[in-house]
Chain A
Amino acid sequence: MKNRLHKWRLLSLFAMIALILSGCGKPFLSTLTPAGEVAQTQFDLMVLSTAIMVLVILVVTVMFIYVIFRFRRKKGDENKIPKQVEGSHKLEIIWTVIPILLLIVLTVPTVSYTFALADVSPMEKKDKDGKTKDALVINVRANLYWWEFEYPDEGVITSQDLVVPTDQRVYFNLKASDVKHSFWIPAVGGKMDTNTDGENQFFLEFDGESAEKVKNQFYGKCAELCGPSHALMDFKVETKSPEEFDQWISDMKSAKAPKAEDGLAKQGEEVFNKSCIGCHAITPNDSRPEQARRAPNLSNFGERSKIAGVMDHSEEDLKNWLEDPEKYKPGNKMTGTYGDLSSEQLDALTAYLMDLKVENK
């Protein structure tokens, strides 16, 4: 058994090293490839705490291995009675004080970064018109199973694909409109809950260089159990350089309600106006109150990277989705709200939706 135990420990050590070498997950998703100030801070804290903890584990392991090999009951010792030791004040003080010292090393950065990461004071500074002076603010509203992103100072609303500028702090207001969700972009920073009562605030920073490595797209997830399709409540983050971002915002601001021109899209528009427009808006400057915004804003649907957050952005998948959303996202709120669509209607609607674009490229 001695050898087996030994081998097992070696094996797990190798497994651990192999894991570390085999990579740290995908850079668009993993917390181990931090892409921004917040994730970097958190990563550094992870490394610091892991280092301290590995130290502790090493000490325990060395003692542990020594003890279980050295003090095995050997043949011939069956009747030996070891000395009955009560304890040792000296030793006990040592292993009380050393952990306290180690914890202090960990406590100081913990407390200081807890406050640093909660600093959202730039959100408070407003100008005469009530707009935030020097910070970009995005309102995130989580819904059963989709995300709405509102740029309140610009009067722009979009959904599912979050568009952000790189290399600056972006401030978020977070809330949920039905049940609790949690907003998480692992590669860029930790999560924060979107509650049904009250708004939460935090900031993230998207590093330009890291963003380039992942083709300007990070993955976001819902991190709080919210119902059957919790696992499918993904969103995408599209990063743009500050100039491109300003361009995008101005495109979004000036976008008009689209006019379908060719025949198929025209038919699609009719279907849309009959079945979909009650919930889905198609302009970024949706002035309705949020209770009325019951489904994702589709103004730039044609430019998005996924359908419903998880399906490929292709005509085929769009038709599949429109035909039976329940199959792809169980428990969603769209199922059964618009009746059956014939295959002609599906083709037309698909053509129309794929044409919804705002960027002047």
Chain B
Amino acid sequence: MSTYAQKKGIGATIWDYLTTVDHKKIAILYLIAGGLFFVVGGLEAMFIRIQLAVPNNDFVSAGLFNEIITMHGTTMIFLAAMPLLFGFMNAVMPLQIGARDVAFPFLNSLGFWLFFFGGVFLNLSWFLGGAPDAGWTSYASLSLASPGHGVDFYVLGLQISGAGTLIGGINFLVTIINMRAPGMTYMRMPLFTWSTFVASALILFAFPPLTVGLFLMLFDRMFGANFFDAAAGGNTIIWEHLFWIFGHPEVYILILPAFGIFSEIFATFSRKRLFGYSSMVFATVLIGFLGFMVWAHHMFTVGLGPIANAIFAVATMAIAVPTGIKIFNWLMTMWGGSIRFTTPMLYAVAFIPSFVAGGVTGIMNAVAPADYQFHDSYFVVAHFHYVIVGGVVLGLLAGAHFYWPKMFGTMLNEFLGKITFWLFLIGFHLTFFIQHFLGLMGMPRRVFTFMEGQGLETGNLVSSIGAFFMAAAIIILLINVVITSVKNEKVGNDPWGDGRTLEWAIPSPPPFYNFKQLPLVRGLDPYWLEKMEGKKGMMPAEPIGDIHMPNNSFIPFVLSMGMFIAAFGAMYQVDDKPWAIPVLILGLLIVFGSMFIRSIKDDHGFHIHKEDLLDEDDKEVKA
């Protein structure tokens, strides 16, 4: 054990996490916050399915239902899926490239706290007069007409958390470009690192359009502008374009890291090198690139005309090719391998048929004339849940089981893990498969109820039953987490036994400086290479020396809180509340004050001295 992990009081631990700039602790923060929002979004999903279990149900009212669907979508995409992926990126990517931290540890912390305060702000809408109710897409004519502050919470909350995401993405890009260990060339990077890299590049290009759209809407709703007001010469279709120029790449921002996690799992538990590594990298980059060329397939029925529709239809279909390459490469990775069905591997294996089903309905949606029928019906609901649950959520669950020992030093219970897996998989298909048919039978999406005698009863009931299976699965996962944490049986460097990449060459959890000596990378799957040559660990690329580390900082927390406070001021000045403008100014003062302090205060960090590192060596030998 590291000498730095002394027993600390609960207060000291909390303070440590509030100020930490360590990528591994920030990963845990992302996991906790993302997990919390995932549960909230899941509860909202359950309310939706309970309401739609039977025709003419009055479990929730029409207006409340719209708030629930809006918050379900927004929460799951922005506050659950993205942060959870960021958690794994933070936990694993620096280890995979042999780095001691990310390039900008301070910004890493800032990114997290911005996301967190943005998410909390958005969810406070439930208690402060009602949540946003214009759908997660928040189409302009409806969101401008929406009364109350719901949509204001959406605009401001996403603006704040979106800034956090953008900062995080840039940080990962710089880290991967600059901080790879000696010998870790681009074409030796593990697939999860590659997908983090491409997803971060997508964030860099996709979030600015969202930011612009949100700013325009912010000015429309709060400061009397008319960007989207058709009556005053504005145009609502511009919002749709801005939203989907962001929104479609967003789907790939979510799915690519999940692809990365699965790639690691397939290789590890098949005991085989990833089949067609370079074409996998190529496919990842190509998917990312094409992801920007297809946004208008969400708008086939808007009336863009046949030329635009035809172009975007063909461009969308093109994405099937690199995605197909990936699917077959994964299958061929398993081919001839020695497959061990651990919980992460079960998720990975189940992911293939689930995601293929979601992918092919994506192609069907790309057939523009047929999409006039699918669009905004339950067929589309089924399609994107097959992609996002069957792809991203299975990836997150797989990643949670796979990387848990590396992050926390103890294994999640495999038996409970497999129960979770089966319940979730059955529930998932039960819930969403039948929704394809509901859509084809004429059920529009986002309806708070449906009437008897339209042939929609059975399908909706089956779908709702499936949702309970998924809920049960998540409850068992939570129980598993508690049991595992209480038992806390420590594991070694490579708990799965077949680790291939650098993160499995160091202790679980890694010491706060990750690598005592930066490793020398001699090829793809560096740790596997060394193991196959009979070596126990990585060959060091440098002698043991002083390690420079950054200091903890409370500034990111305070700065983010300043934004949070300013947002309240901006929102309530609409009602002419006398305190609103002062609150806005106070919040901004906190923000700029924090920036000022950060700028003028010299913070050189500290050094871990060579002698301390050598001391630890002795201890490890004894242990």
Contacts and interface: CB of A to CB of B under 8 A. Distances in A.
A331 B235 CA distance: 24
B364 A49 contact: yes
Contacts of B371: 190
A73 B310 contact: no
Contacts of B450: 231
A302 interface: no
Interface stretch (A181-189, A249-257, A335-343, A344-352): A181-189
A224 interface: yes
B325 A117 contact: no
Interface string A26-60: 10011110000001011001100110110011001
A113 interface: yes
Contacts of B135: 225
Interface stretch (A75-83, A130-138, A159-167, A236-244): A75-83
Contacts of B231: 196
B309 interface: yes
Contacts of A96: 321, 324-325
Contact of B377 (A71, A195, A223): A223
A198 interface: yes
Given A191-B375, A223-B377, A23 B455 contact: yes
Given A12-B433, A32-B440, A231-B450, A114 B142 contact: no
A196 B230 contact: yes
Given A61-B353, A176-B141, A41 B375 contact: no
Contacts of A278: none
A222 interface: yes
A68 to B, nearest CB: 6
Interface in A208-243: 219, 221-232
Contact of A227 (B142, B235, B367): B142
B320 A99 contact: yes
B236 A180 contact: yes
A83 B310 CA distance: 46
Contacts of B446: 225, 230-231
Interface string B375-411: 1110000000000000000000000000000000000
A115 B310 contact: yes
Interface residues of B, number: 97
Contacts of A1: 341
Contacts of B327: 60
Given A71-B337, A82-B338, A117-B372, A225 B324 contact: no
A17 interface: no
B331 A110 contact: no
Contacts of A57: 353, 356-357, 360
What is the predominant secondary structure among interface residues of chain B facing chain A? Answer: helix
B441 interface: yes
A281 to B, nearest CB: 23
Nearest to B362: A53
Contact of A31 (B329, B334, B426, B440): B440
A99 B318 CA distance: 9
B335 A46 contact: no
A223 B375 contact: yes
A279 B353 CA distance: 55
B273 interface: yes
A10 interface: no
A277 interface: no
A106 B318 CA distance: 11
A60 B532 contact: no
B332 A91 contact: yes
A271 interface: no
A224 B63 CA distance: 15
B560 to A, nearest CB: 32
A192 B372 CA distance: 7
Interface string B441-471: 1101111111101111000000000000000
A225 B139 contact: yes
Contacts of B331: 60, 63-64, 67
Contacts of B142: 179-180, 225-227
Given A49-B364, A225-B66, A60 B369 contact: no
B370 A8 contact: no
Given A110-B310, A182-B301, A223-B377, A85 B444 contact: no
Given A49-B370, A114-B369, A230-B447, A197 B434 contact: no
B376 A182 contact: yes
B302 interface: yes
B277 interface: yes
A226 to B, nearest CB: 6
Contacts of B363: 49, 52-53, 103, 106
Given A197-B237, A228-B66, A231-B62, A190 B372 contact: yes
Interface centre among A72, A176, A225 (most CB of B within 10 A): A225
A205 B310 CA distance: 22
A26 B63 contact: no
B62 A186 contact: no
Nearest to A179: B141
B134 interface: yes
A64 B328 contact: no
Contact of A221 (B270, B339, B440, B442): B442
B574 interface: no
A99 B368 CA distance: 19
Interface string B324-361: 11011101101111111100000001001100110011
A46 to B, nearest CB: 5
A228 B270 CA distance: 51
B317 interface: yes
B555 to A, nearest CB: 41
A26 B454 contact: yes
A182 B357 CA distance: 28
Interface centre among B303, B328, B363, B373 (most CB of A within 10 A): B373
A330 B328 contact: no
Contacts of B375: 190-191, 223
Nearest to B299: A193
B275 interface: yes
19 contacts: A39-B373, A56-B324, A71-B336, A71-B338, A84-B272, A85-B273, A85-B336, A87-B275, A96-B325, A107-B317, A111-B313, A178-B145, A180-B236, A195-B303, A197-B234, A223-B444, A228-B133, A231-B62, A232-B449
**9 tightest A-B contacts by CB?**
A190-B372, A25-B441, A231-B447, A87-B276, A53-B360, A186-B442, A200-B303, A29-B442, A228-B62
